[in-house]
Each structure stands twice: as structure tokens, then as C-alpha cells.
Amino acid sequence: MPTALLQTDQLTIADASRLLLDEIQNSSTRAMYGKALADFLAWCQAQGASPLTRTIVEQHKNFLLSQGYSAATVNQRLTAIRQYARHAADKGLLAREDAAEILAIRGTKKETILSEGQSLDFQEAESLLNAPNPDTRKGKRDRALLALLLGCGLRRNEIVQTRAEDIRRVEGRWVLSKVIGRHGRVRIVPLPSWVKLALDCWLEASKIRSGAIFRALDREGTLQARGLSAPMVLATVARYGKNIGVTIAPRDLRRTCARLCRDSGADLEQIQLLLGRANIQATGAYFGVTQDLTEAPNDALRLRWRRSRKRAR
């Protein structure tokens, strides 16, 4: 009897949901499985892959890792795909021997280097900042995103919530006036001149005047209405890190910002206020330490980015 094949052009995402998602009681788990299966089927279709086999699933696993997804996220998605394969076999859409091979796929171990934390040195940070092509709209967007991560130490969730209206002048300098951190804490983040210039280049190219600063672009570089998500920020950083030969995540760029500020002689308390660390904010309030916007710690960072890739040659 020939092996049954599960083809992306035979099953829709709705079919996949009917096979598995309706049986899941927990709404968070159901949402996570739904996202994992939707992305998997879309990837299969883009790759032109029709059989659901161990090889296809392992290739998808490697793809997720190459996009900078954490080991925990990859393992969650593998769990959803394994359950999907089991249900497909139960419905007669997949041979049980093929399902057994998929169920035997091992998860990914966490990388100890990233869990312990790492940061870039000055040369690596500057190389990362110059990795996007400044002659394209996408390059301008990604350079502005990397500039905020490297120059201001924002978290990726803070990046996606940043709005054009938040760029204001306070005490004679440009700042992000409303960065919403963990537990809803709001802080002001000073913008070094080179970060502000990168933002200006992107906002001018995109014609964004209000709303989310960082938004999706289609293949032709046309601006979309939807903003970037936190996973898209993660994938963007990982892709440019790969371009310069390093494995890096947004949290590592946050560490890089802190390290480079400290190496430049900035005060430790001011760095911690810049990053919005809750314990230092409480300590600062107790001792009367206030954030210095006149001489901000990240002003000492002198990363340079090229205006044009052509000009650099």
C-alpha cells in the first residue's frame, strides 16, 4: 500500500485546525498551536513541499533556527507539528510509519552562550549597524531598528510599540518620550544624534507621520499598514547578525548598548535608568537620583553608519 501524503494544496489551515485545535481546551495553547501550524503549512507551500515527512519537518526546524527563533520557541512549534502528524495519521492522511518518524524528531537544546548573555564589541556593533543596505527602503527601516537597539537599549517589545508621536524634544534634545517597558512602566529614552538621523531617514522614506514607526514592507518595498511584531524584530536581528558572522538576538544588543556606554565612561546609574531597570529606578527615587537628559549615557556612543553603500565603495 503506498504511503499516504499530506499535501499543503489538499489541506487548508482550517482543515488543520479541525484536526487538532478544536480538541485543545486551553486558549493559549490553542493559539500557539494555530500559529505554529499556519506558519508550517505556509512554509511548506512556499518550498513546494508536498509530503509530510521527517525530512520536511527537520528542514523546517532548521529554517526556524536560522531565523533566530529561540530553542524554546522551536521546541514549542515542533510539539504542535508532532501532534498534527499524529492526528493526520489517525485520520488516514498520513502513514503511521511516517508519523512515527516525525514524532521521533528531537527538540533543540538551548545555547549556553546566549542564555548566559553576550554582547558585541565596538567593531562588531558598527558592522551590524552597517549591514542593511541604506539605498533601499527596507535597509533604511532595518538600520533605524538596529540603531535603536544598539544606541538606546530598547527591548524588542518596546521597539514594536514605539510611535512617531513619541519622538519629541525635551530639555533641548530629542527623546522617545513614552517607552513602555515591563509591567507598564513608562520612561524617557534620549536619542543620540546618529540614532535620530537613522530614524529621520526611515520616516522620510516611508512618509510615516503617526502611528507605529516600524511597519512591514512587501517584496517591492511598499509600506504595509501592519506594524512589525516582536518575532519579526528577532528574525531581523538574527539575519543581519548572520551576515556579519555572529549569532545575536535583540537582548544581546541591549547588553551591547550597556557595555559600550559603560566603556565610554557613562555613570552606571544613568545607564540603568536608560535601560529602565526596575530595581535601579526604585533605588534612584529613594536616593534622589534623576535621569540626566543633558549628558545622557548613550551620547558617548560614536557608532557610525554609511549614508550609501555605493558611496562606501
The set of residues, in sequence order, having a beta carbon less than 8 Å from that of 167 and lying 6+ positions away, is: 174, 175, 176, 177, 191, 196, 199
pTM for the model stands at 0.56
What is the DSSP annotation of 202-236?
HHHHHT--SSBSSEEE-TT--EEEEEPPHHHHHHH
18's enclosing H/E stretch is: helix 13-20
pLDDT of 64 > 70? The answer is yes
- Of residues 308 and 62, the one with the higher pLDDT is 62
Average pLDDT, the chain: 80
Q: At 78, which amino acid appears?
A: L
Q: How confident is the model at residue 34 (pLDDT cuts 50, 70, 90)?
A: confident
CA distances in angstroms from 5 to 30, 38, 182, listed in the order given: 25, 18, 46
Q: Which strands, in side-by-side order, build the sheet including 186-190?
A: 167-170, 173-180, 186-190
For 192-219, write each residue's pLDDT tens digit: 999 999 999 999 999 999 999 999 999 8
Nearest to 39 by CA among 71, 93, 76: 76
Confidence of residue 115 (pLDDT cuts 50, 70, 90): very low
Domain 115-312 carries which CATH code? 1.10.443.10
Which of 16-30, 63-77, 204-218 is predicted with the least confidence, judged by mean pLDDT? 16-30
User: What's the grid cell of residue 148?
Assistant: 535603536
Span 71-98, pLDDT tens digits: 778 888 888 888 888 877 777 777 888 8
- Average pLDDT, integer, range 234-251: 92
Q: Cα–Cα distance between 148 and 192 in angstroms, integer?
A: 9
Strands of 111-242, DSSP E: 167-170, 173-180, 186-190, 215-217, 223-227
Looking at domain 13-110, which of 1.10.150.130, 1.10.10.10, 3.40.50.1370, 3.90.550.10 is its CATH number?
1.10.150.130
User: What pLDDT sits at residue 174?
Assistant: 94
Domain ranges (residues) in the chain: 13-110, 115-312
pLDDT band at 43 (very low <50, low <70, confident <90, very high): confident
